[in-house]
Amino acid sequence: MRSILAILVAGALATPAVADETEGLILSFDRVDRIIVMTDMTVWELPASVETPDDLARGDRVHMVYDSAGEDGLTAITALHRLAVALPEGTDGGS
């Protein structure tokens, strides 16, 4: 009985990596260091394994998928998708 209880407690304490996601606007993107700063001031470091569009830039809306380990935080960004391209400076974008 104790061994079953110990296994259940150990299983509950082990925090598996869980895929999560976020979306937002890019404030700045450092291509060399592969660091994105979002308009909410969060900073994301992209691993070399994550592909980015060649023309990714300030103002683009992106969706990122990452693995997290609960309260231990971010473990790895696994994907980045551009949802919208920023309008050129001086354009109002519409009707």
What is the reported pLDDT for 71?
76
Q: What is the mean pLDDT of residues 20-47?
A: 94
Residue 18, pLDDT score = 65
Given this structure, which CATH class describes domain 17-84? mainly beta
Residue 1 has pLDDT above 90, yes or no: no
Lowest-pLDDT range of 4-8, 26-30, 91-95: 4-8
pLDDT at 82 over 80: yes
Whether this prediction's pTM lies above 0.85 is answered by no
Distances (CA, A) of 47 to 4, 27, 38: 40, 19, 17
Phi/psi class of residue 46: alpha, beta or left (left: φ > 0; alpha: ψ in -120 to 50)?
beta
